[in-house]
A and B are shown apart, each in its own frame.
Chain A
């Protein structure tokens, strides 16, 4: 069974350009998370969706960042315009969560998208 699939694996772009990162969660999972990993700040939650609805986007750094989940099998994280400080590894993760049950489902991570903004 395929895991969480992210693309591209590596992206090098110039400051000011638009960047779009893509994620396909595991089929049947109803929650999707975007994390950013840097040496300085570690792993930070950017946003998470439940049943395609954004539940918590308080971690999104600023208006340059936006995320969408148009359907259960696809999500995007967009940065426009990109800046050098956005350079990081961006991880997508998915899980099966059931509200109200205290279900502590495991998060399954993709292999990440390494973004370098010059």
Chain B
């Protein structure tokens, strides 16, 4: 079965410093992976997706993620955090049967001034 594990439930960074949100995946084949963001009391928005093209994927708002098959990882990064980046981030894998997505537990990002 396809699954993802987000290694940190909470991450706190200072504004202007780099962001690293970690995600490992489990899949018996080359997966489709996504990062979604959820701001308070809002729905989820797609940040970026990996679909077996380039291993370094660029998303919106300066975020990017690198697919590393040898490490089964898909970590999300951003060079410089903004206050508006404070939100819940979900690493997601697509199921191989159908088109539904399996979500990780989420990482809450706090950005301090």
Contacts and interface: CB of A to CB of B under 8 A. Distances in A.
Contacts of A111: 41-43
B82 to A, nearest CB: 22
Given A97-B99, A104-B49, A43 B42 contact: no
A95 B43 CA distance: 14
Describe B's contact surface by its main secondary structure: loop
A106 B100 contact: no
A91 B44 contact: yes
B33 to A, nearest CB: 9
B87 to A, nearest CB: 14
Contacts of A104: 32, 49, 51, 94, 99
Interface of A: 4, 31, 33, 35, 42-43, 45, 48, 50, 55-56, 91, 93, 95, 97, 104-107, 109-112
Interface of B: 32, 41-46, 49, 51, 90, 94, 97-106
